[in-house]
Chain A
């Protein structure tokens, strides 16, 4: 198996799909109206931007952004599971979020290794230390 790299065609395609799915679910939430959905949509937009921002700090913390986005999408699904609503657009948004989690997990596995070990290392040696 070839190693996945961020600058390889497969790596670029994977990142593009992740950003596309993040923007898609963000857009769906923005169309739902109300402050909660709007904030959720804006959050996805910020996450999509953070996934491609070419700033040094964003690149250094990309592993954390990936994990954060996995957690954000998982929380959105659990919140929907608890509160609803159940209808076609919601199912589409949840399917997108599940696909997003899978693709982010592939990136985490390929670029960051074990997320628990990564977090431990970061805690021992904070950013900028």
Chain B
């Protein structure tokens, strides 16, 4: 058995992949509360998900101030909402905690400068829309 563990290309491959997975796992920074903050503004923006789709393709949010984004996942499939600067997905402004529904999460989104952003589900990138901060 020791010989197999030392010599197998497959085992070496698995060790490299395991190290990569652990490295990625240590970088997680997703946020999301499982109950509404006490100071929640009743007019807070919201997005819901069902049938592998969001209920809206555009969400308006206040520019220059943090806000709570209410995310309602209505199906037993994992979803989240993350916000990116643009379609390149290189600059993530906020990463929402992935949640398997039915469940609701309150995302504390940091202040966004005025402009248009992309939001998407990181599990199903085809689920996407625009956030307009103004």
Contacts and interface: CB of A to CB of B under 8 A. Distances in A.
Partners in one complex: yes
B113 to A, nearest CB: 25
B98 A105 contact: no
Contact of B20 (A81, A84, A102, A105): A81
A33 B52 contact: yes
Contacts of B126: 34
B25 A70 contact: no
Contacts, number: 89
Contacts of A97: 17
B25 A105 contact: no
Nearest to B95: A86
Contacts of A91: 21, 25
B4 A85 contact: no
B125 to A, nearest CB: 7
A89 interface: yes
Interface residues of A, number: 31
A123 interface: no
Given A83-B125, A87-B78, A105 B24 contact: no
Going nearest first, the 3 A-B pairs with the smallest beta carbon separation are: A105-B10, A33-B77, A85-B122
Interface of B: 1, 3-4, 7-11, 13-14, 17-18, 20-21, 24-25, 27-28, 30, 52, 75-78, 80, 97-98, 100, 122-126
Interface of A: 1, 31-34, 70, 74, 77-78, 81, 83-87, 89, 91, 94-95, 97-99, 101-102, 104-106, 108-110, 115
